[in-house]
Structure 1
Amino acid sequence: MDLELRHLKTIRAIADAGSLTRAATAMGLAQPALSTQLKRIERALGGPLFFRGRNGVRPTALGELVLDRACVLLPAVRQLQEEAARFARAWEGMPRFRLGATHGPLLGGLVDRLEAAHPGVAVTTRTSWSEREIASLVLDGRVDFALVGTCGESPPPAADRLVWRCLAVDPVFVMLRRDHPLADRRVIELERLADESWADVPGDGCFADCFTAACTRAGFTPARVYETDLASYVHLVQVGRAVGLCRATFPPTPGVVTRPLAGTPLSWRHLIGWYPGSPAADVATSVVGQARAAHTEAAARSTTYTAWLADHPGFGTVSSTTV
């Protein structure tokens, strides 16, 4: 019998379970069937792989050797399968731009610029509130570029497997109803909002924890945070139920104003990522340039942000940054 990948998976499952009975249950097999299969594998490898005892099984010296090799081979084969799937879904014929993004200000601008620069080339989009889900779509070959954000200096998802470039660094502003008592201030101290309810959009990064920490430093704990979709978030601010946390590039919206927080306690990095071995890598430089231009255009639409940037040169669109 030739050793196959499924045999290594069986050995790994038995070692992880610590007993043939538990392994058989996890694999959906009868225990006698798994025991027979193990004996065939052991004959093929030349000796017993496990000591069997009243309390379960433990690897023999030969078993340890095989398990060490399996720990290398099984992940390598899984990576090979992922890469094959990516290339199977890769571009065919004319290029295309498949964009995955969290809900932010840059996706629409990037689509517009790519459509204008590459007429006739398909541009498609996928959105999710989860940065990790968007990154996994790139790893699976289902989108070509991930457009996400991270709080402060926190690393992007799949940082060891995707290439990431920073597009811009924005402060986090606060959104207020236009007739809010603090709406006329150029800058607002966070502690002045201690009695407010808050609205924000969901995400799976550390932003919620960073916001709570900033409030703690300002001497209060947020009374209530509504984590909701963008339309509901804006509505809650418009009707005065909450103040909102928003990126500085948030576009002008009827009934609300955006204002910077004193001391910039929260910031947001806009990032774009791709898989280095995919066809997307061949056009990544151009796409990064278009995305940075889209951010510059978005920032210019906010007079509040434009005025703030004049005094804070370390923020805004970046020219060249590797994450």
Structure 2
Amino acid sequence: MELELRHLRAIRAIADTGSLTKAAASLGLAQPALSTQLKRIERALGGPLFVRDRTGARPTPLGELVLDRARVLLPAVRELQEEAVRFANAWAHIQRFRIGGTHGPLLGGLIDRLATAHPSAPVSTYTSWSVQELSTMVVEGRLDYALIGVCGQSPPPVADQLTWQPIGTDPVFVMLVEDHPLAGEVELKLSALASESWTDVPGDGCFGDCFAAACARAGFTPVSVFETDTASCVHLVQVGRAVGLCRATFPPTPGVVIRPLAGAPLSWRHMIGWHPGAPAADTAPAVAGHARAAHADAVRRSEPYATWLRSHARCSAAFGTATVGPAAP
């Protein structure tokens, strides 16, 4: 694992608050997810960064070394990003739509709607598994908008520099080969899949940690998790090699069925972000509206999801397009 800026932010938050619980709350993460992340960071750096006891968390000598570097690097990176935005915005004046997005049908739906509504405006795209990369490109003025997803209630990246608005929230479903013994079930308990291998697309958020925590609550540790591209994930499910994690809006696929998890232990929140000082801010409300419409279309096209929403009236207010509303900058 390579050390990233988000890891330095997590280390600094633990040191500043003196507690993993308080640090997790300030970062918008679940405490087990932050604890798992810290263990990975410590393995990568070669030793413990904090001494943890009843009084809280105190940096070790190695932790002090890392903190000293983090307190120099993090402000320097932020200053660089702000200067890049000012430079990029000095010449960015024509109407255009430079959109970055993670892989999935929502990006295609947004592009289609923008191209229809603004036929003379150039539309370009950039896709990445990394929401941090996409957000940084918006901060630096290389993209106008980032269409991303974040796990559960986790905050989007660089929330102190970009304006983010929610598009919709989906429960995470499971993909099964159509002749799987559990394929006929209406809803699956996560514990019923304890003996399965899993497949999922990569990412740099906390989803992997939250999935591991959900499995632990269900009483098991995943046998294995294959992180690969969407096509390979689908193939592994089709041949019965693994079961896959997917958004509830996952489109119909030959040989594959999708089923909800009981209690919806995992969720995925779609967000769109832009820089408040960039020209893109002027057209941001319209772009966000097109993204919400694209998400609503995806929800309607997924019969398993629509069925789940109808049968879970209490959950409907938290999922689908019902979550759409204003977000604080």
TM-score category (smaller protein): 0.7 to 0.9
Distance between the aligned counterparts of 2:216 and 2:207, measured in 1?
Answer: 14
Deviation at 1:319, TM superposition (A): 3.1
2:183 is matched by which residue type in structure 1?
Answer: A
Indicate whether 1:82 and 2:104 are aligned. Answer: no
2:242 is matched by which residue type in structure 1?
Answer: A
Indicate whether 1:122 and 2:122 are aligned. Answer: yes
User: Percent of aligned positions with the same letter in both sequences?
Assistant: 60
Distance between the aligned counterparts of 2:119 and 2:252, measured in 1?
Answer: 29
Deviation sequence 1:284-319 (CA, Å, 0-9, x none): 100010000000001111100001112231211133
Provide structure 1 residue ranges, at least 5 long, that are not aligned to the other structure: 1-69
Distance between the aligned counterparts of 2:83 and 2:207, measured in 1?
Answer: 34
The within-5 A match list for 1:198-237 is 198-237=198-237
1:273 is matched by which residue type in structure 2?
Answer: G
Distance between the aligned counterparts of 1:204 and 1:142, measured in 2?
Answer: 20
Indicate whether 1:320 and 2:322 are aligned. Answer: no
Contact in 2 for aligned 1:201/1:227 (Cα 8 Å)? yes
The within-5 A match list for 1:49-68 is none
Deviation at 1:140, TM superposition (A): 1.0
Deviation at 1:321, TM superposition (A): 3.3
Contact in 2 for aligned 1:89/1:142 (Cα 8 Å)? no
Other-structure match for 2:243: 243
Provide structure 2 residue ranges, at least 5 long, that are not aligned to the other structure: 1-71
Larger gyration radius, structure 1 or structure 2: 1
Deviation at 1:75, TM superposition (A): 8.0
Other-structure match for 2:193: 193
Other-structure match for 1:166: 166
Distance between the aligned counterparts of 2:176 and 2:78, measured in 1?
Answer: 52
Other-structure match for 2:293: 293
Distance between the aligned counterparts of 1:185 and 1:179, measured in 2?
Answer: 12
2:190 is matched by which residue type in structure 1?
Answer: L
Calculate the aligned-residue CA RMSD, in Å.
Answer: 1.9
1:211 is matched by which residue type in structure 2?
Answer: F
Deviation at 1:175, TM superposition (A): 0.4
Deviation sequence 1:99-155 (CA, Å, 0-9, x none): 001112310000011111111211110000000000011011111000011101111
Other-structure match for 1:61: none
Distance between the aligned counterparts of 1:247 and 1:76, measured in 2?
Answer: 33
Q: TM-score, normalised by structure 2?
A: 0.73
Other-structure match for 2:178: 178
2:184 is matched by which residue type in structure 1?
Answer: D
2:89 is matched by which residue type in structure 1?
Answer: F
Seen in structure 2, the aligned counterparts of structure 1 residues 79 and 102 have a Cα distance that, compared at 3 Å, is closer
Contact in 2 for aligned 1:86/1:139 (Cα 8 Å)? no
Helix, strand or coil for the counterpart of 2:202? coil
2:319 is matched by which residue type in structure 1?
Answer: F
Contact in 1 for aligned 2:82/2:140 (Cα 8 Å)? no
Other-structure match for 1:112: 112
The within-5 A match list for 1:6-85 is 78=80, 81-85=83-87
Contact in 2 for aligned 1:89/1:141 (Cα 8 Å)? no
